[in-house]
Amino acid sequence: MNTFLSRLKAYLFRIYYRIINKKAWQDSPVATHLKVSNLLIPGAVDQLRARMYHGEADRPLIIYFHGGGWVIGNLDTHDPFCRSLAEASKSTIMSIDYRLAPEHVFPAAHDDCQAATDWILANLNTLAPNNGKVVIAGDSAGGNLTACTAATLISEPRLVGTIMIYPATEHYLKGFPSFREHAKSKPLTAPIMRWFIDTYLGDTAPAATEAKKVFVNRRTDYKGFPRSLVVTAERDVLRDDGRRLGITLRQAGVDTTYHHYADEAHGFACSEGPTEGHQHFIRLAVDWLEPLRSRH
């Protein structure tokens, strides 16, 4: 696909995704009372937009990377979800608007998320209330960005956890059973996921050494990785991506909570509105975050 057609497809997909996302949440406004600040923070190349949802001082700050296959999604598509999580957890959340493909291919999103995290860690004392600790979280491609960013910060004592919601962790050529079993399961079909991966990789070959930065299930160095919550959905081409990551983390001795939703599809936690599945995930995340609260 030539550059013009690739960008046109991405543009149209972004519009569609934002319309259906807005429709999913339109009848249930979430936490409109929260104090929210829009910021510009340093990225790898230029400034990035970020949205800060203010929480309480005894909670860790959550850095959030939205999903969307590294191609679609932005601060607004995940605004209702971030508001819901911020309200329930009482944690400050910093949502990051990293660069998207095809305009910016690998490793642009990964580099931006790394730069944003480094800046947030360096400025924790001047941001909205937090207890000096950080959790990195994200869904789908954002779950991938979470794992990749956290893996570079294993020696960082302020990083105390990761939350990875149906994360992307492998190339589709890996052939996980879920990629075949749920190839037609909506909203994330196998053709869409292949397009996401191909679009983000650009000219980077799947087998290239640098691709290990994207395909985190190829990593063997998870020893010392922070306490983690990994969530998967049954009707999801990425089901086995997350399952394999959970196994890998446990084998590395990481304190890992793995929760599988047998009756849900990809996107249930963040993009389908305030459904029963979303509400259960929020309760799960709040319970998982509770031990990270500072008690005086």
29/209 Cα distance (integer angstroms): 45
| Spatial contact of 116 and 48, defined as CB atoms under 8 Å apart | yes
List the alpha helices (DSSP H) in the chain: 3-25, 79-89, 108-122, 141-151, 177-181, 190-201, 239-251, 276-289
Active-site choice (139, 266, 271, 278): 266
Q: Which of 79, 97, 139, 236 is catalytic?
A: 236
Q: Rounded to 5 degrees, what are φ and ψ at 235? A: -85, 65
The catalytic position among 84, 91, 140, 178 is: 140
Neighbours of 291 (CB within 10 A): 9
Tell me whether residue 84 is one of the annotated catalytic residues. no
H helix or E strand, kind and range, residue 176: none
CA atoms of 86 and 293, how far apart (whole Å): 14
d(CA 256, CA 250): 6
Long-range contacts of 252-255 (CB under 8 A, 24+ apart): 252/222, 252/223, 252/225, 253/223, 254/222, 254/223, 254/225, 254/226, 254/227, 254/228, 255/227, 255/228
Place of tokens 């990377």: 65
- 266 given a catalytic annotation: yes
241 flagged as catalytic = no
Residues known to be catalytic: 140, 236, 266
